Amino acid sequence: GEVGRAAGLLFIYSLGLTLPFLVVGLFTSRAARFLRERGRFVQYTNYVAGVILIILGILIFTDNFVSLVGKLFNIFPMLDLLR
């Protein structure tokens, strides 16, 4: 039923959140070297991610996030397959 589907989706979501941390944890020394070598790129990525988070926060605070998601579903109809 719906509860089983929700639990399955939550499990997959949790795996998606866990995998990057697990990979970095397993390869800490390699990851540290990788991040040091690409310091400028990592700094830029952090900046862009921060700006995106601020924009999302403003959208949620002003109650415009739901309308944005609706527009995205209209622009990209294949997203409707994820429901």
What is the number of domains present in the chain? Answer: 2
State the pLDDT at residue 38: 85
Looking at residue 24, its pLDDT comes to: 82
pLDDT per residue, tens digit, the chain (83 aa), is 789 899 999 999 998 899 988 888 888 888 788 888 888 888 899 999 999 999 999 999 999 999 988 888 889 888 777 66
pTM beyond cutoff 0.75: no
**Are residue 51 and residue 80 in the same domain, yes or no?**
yes
Residue 14's Cβ-count burial label (10 Å; 0-12, 13-18, 19+) is exposed
Q: Judge if 33 and 45 occupy the same domain.
A: no
Q: Is 33 found in the same domain as 7?
A: yes
Give the pLDDT score at 18.
Answer: 93
Q: Which domain holds residue 73?
A: 39-83
